[in-house]
Structure 1
Amino acid sequence: MPALTFQDFLLSAPGELLLEWEKKAYSELTADVFGSCALQIGMPQLDTLAANRMQAHWLIDPRGNLCDPKFTLNRIVADPSQLPILNESMDLVTLPHTLDLASNPQQILREAVRVLEPEGRLILTAFNSLGLWWLRQQTVKLGCRPYLPTELVPISLYRLKDWLALLGLEVDRGIFGIYAPGFRSLKRLHAWSWLNKAGDRWMPQFSNLFLLSAVKRLPGPRIVSCESMQKLPGKMPAPGVPAASSTTHSTLLGKKL
C-alpha cells in the first residue's frame, strides 16, 4: 500500500478542509498574543502566525520544504527536537501537527517549552484519535487507501494535557473542529458541516481535530498569612521587635536572600 505523506494529504479534500479550519482557529487565538518574537515549529504549508502582530516571526522547517512566498515567517532549517534558539526567548510558540507527526513528540514539546518565555503562550493542533477520520484510517488494515498521513500517530487529548501540565503549562482554552465523516469529496464534506454545531455542543470529544492553548507558568513567591505563620515551628517575634535574622524572615516568604 503506497504511503500518504502529509504534503499529499493537504492537497486532498480533507486536507483542504483542515487548512481552512486551522487558519481560522490560529488567527482567532494568535491575534491578541503580544510580545516581540513568535515561533512556528513545522508545517510550512500554513502560516499560523499570519494574524499575529509581533515584530519577528520565525519558522522551524525540519525538511527544508518550500514555503509560500507571501508568508511573513523567517525560515530556519533545523531539527525540532534540538532547536538552535536561546532559552526563554519566544513569547508565542505554535505546533501545528508537529507532535502527532513526529517520532519523538515529548522531546519536541520539551524544546518548545524551553524556548518559551515565562507567561508565554503555546498553541498546538492535532488529529483526534476518537474522530471519524481516524476511524476511516483504520480501513488501511483491510487494504484500503490511506485517508490520513501514514506517519500519523495520534496523541490523545488527555495525554497531551498531562504532558503540558508536567512541563509547567496551564491549558486555558481548547477548540474542537470538523465532525464530518471520512469522505474524499470536498462537496460531501461541506454538506456535513451541520455536524459542527451539533458536535461542539453534544460530542466535542469526537471531533476530527482539536486545538489547545496553554500558558507557561512558573512557581512564584507564596503569600503567607498570619494564621499559617502561627502554625510554623518556633516562636514568633514580638511586635516591634526585629527578627533574629533576615534569613529566617526571607525563608518564610519562600525566598532566600
Structure 2
Amino acid sequence: MRPDPAATDPRTKIDTSVAHPARRYDYWLGGKDNFAADRESGDRIIAVFPTTRTAALENRRFMRRAVAHIAGQAGIRQFLDVGTGIPTSPNTHEIAQGIVPDARVVYVDNDPIVLAHARALLTSSAEGATAYIDADLYQPDSILNHPDLLQTLDLSQPVALMLVAVLHFVPDADNPRGLIEPLIDALAPGSYVVMSHMTHDFLSSEDAAAVNQVVSSEALRARPKERFATFFDGLDLVEPGIVSASEWRAEDEPQPRPSRSEVSCYGAVAVKR
C-alpha cells in the first residue's frame, strides 16, 4: 500500500502551538513564517533582552561577511550550512555564488517548516549547485553519507562548514563538541569552520541572571568565550579570532557598530590545516 501523502508530508508535522527556534528567529528578523507561540516566546526573551532583534540581525550579518571572506579571500567553492533555518535572503549560496558563480552549497536542517520552504533554497547559479538535506546534527553520519551531499560536494576538497547560531541549542550533556567532531574530521585540509554562539560575557551579573532565567526555559544556553573556544580545538582561528559577532571583519558595515552587550554573541572563523 502506498503511504498516505498527508502522513509523509513534513508540513503535517509542524506543531504551531509550540515555539520553534527557526520560526522565532524568523520573527526577530521581521519575517512572516512564524506563529503565535513563536512570537510569544520571542517576546519573552525581548522583555529581558531588549536588543534581541539587533543581536539576530548582527548574527545574520556575521554569516554574510564570513561567507564573503571565505569565498573571496580563500577561494572556497563548497559550503555545508548546518542548521540553516528559514530562508532569509541573501542566503549562503546567494552570497557565495555572487563571488564564485560555481560555488556548491548543501543546506541541512530538520525543521519541517524549513523543508516546506526548500524550493526557496534550491535555486542556484547556472555554474553552481545547491541541495537541501533533511537531517539532524545529532546524527552526523546522516549528513555526511546523504546521497544529495555526496552528489553536490566533494569532501576530498576544502569545504566551509557553517554552524551559525546552532550550538547554543545543544546542552553540555549532549556534548556539542562531540557532535560536530565527525563533521570537522570529514573536512579536507584547507577547509573552514564558521560558528557563532550566544554569550553572557558582556552583561552584568544581574542582567545575565535575568536573561539566563528566561532563555534557559526556551532551550537556549549562553556560554563564555573560554567554552566557545573549545569548539575550535585543533583548528587555526582566522584573524581577529573570537570576537563579538558584530565586530568580526565589520570595517565596511555602517558605523558605529552595536555594542558587545547589545549583541551578546561571539563569532569566529577557523581553518583546518
Range class of TM-score, shorter chain: 0.5 to 0.7
Residues 1:41 and 2:41 aligned together: no
Residues 1:78 and 2:146 aligned together: no
1:27 match: secondary structure: helix
Residues 1:116 and 2:160 aligned together: no
1:70-219 matches, cutoff 5 A = 70-71=120-121, 72=123, 73-83=130-140, 84-85=143-144, 91-103=159-171, 104=174, 105-132=176-203, 136=207, 138-139=209-210, 146=214, 150-165=218-233, 168-173=234-239, 174=241, 175-177=243-245, 196=258, 199=259, 207-217=263-273
Distance 1:141 1:160 in 2: 17
Which amino acid counterpart does residue 231 of structure 2 have in structure 1? Answer: W
1:118 match: secondary structure: coil
Alpha carbons of structure 1 residues 98 and 16: separation in structure 2 relative to 1, 3 Å: same
- Displacement, 1:135? 6.1
CA contact (8 A) 2:215 2:221 kept: no
- Displacement, 1:52? 1.3
What is the root-mean-square deviation of aligned Cα atoms in Å?
3.6
**Structure 2 partner of 1:50:** 94
TM-score by length of 1: 0.60
CA contact (8 A) 1:60 1:78 kept: yes
Distance 1:5 1:39 in 2: 22
Residues 1:23 and 2:23 aligned together: no
Which amino acid counterpart does residue 24 of structure 1 have in structure 2? Answer: R
- Displacement, 1:27? 1.9
Distance 2:210 2:106 in 1: 38
- Displacement, 1:138? 3.4
TM-score by length of 2: 0.57
Distance 2:55 2:211 in 1: 21
CA contact (8 A) 2:245 2:268 kept: no
Distance 2:178 2:219 in 1: 17
More off after superposition, 57-66 vs 91-100:
57-66
Residues 1:65 and 2:113 aligned together: yes
User: Percent identity over the alignment?
Assistant: 14
Higher strand share: 1
**Structure 1 partner of 2:24:** 8
Which amino acid counterpart does residue 27 of structure 1 have in structure 2? Answer: R
Distance 1:81 1:89 in 2: 24
Offset from partner CA, 1:78-127 (integer Å, 9 cap, x none)? 12132331565651110011111124312222133023221111101111
Distance 2:212 2:198 in 1: 19
- Displacement, 1:170? 0.9
Which runs of 5 or more structure 1 residues have no equivalent in the other structure?
Answer: 180-192, 218-257
CA contact (8 A) 2:105 2:131 kept: yes
Q: Larger Rg: 1 or 2?
A: 1
Distance 2:107 2:272 in 1: 20
Distance 2:83 2:187 in 1: 16
Which runs of 5 or more structure 2 residues have no equivalent in the other structure?
Answer: 1-16, 29-45, 124-129, 146-154, 248-254
Alpha carbons of structure 1 residues 97 and 15: separation in structure 2 relative to 1, 3 Å: same
2:230 match: secondary structure: helix
Distance 1:16 1:206 in 2: 9
Which amino acid counterpart does residue 144 of structure 2 have in structure 1? Answer: I
Distance 1:140 1:129 in 2: 8
Distance 1:148 1:134 in 2: 16
CA contact (8 A) 2:197 2:266 kept: yes
Higher helix share: 2
More off after superposition, 146-155 vs 117-126:
146-155
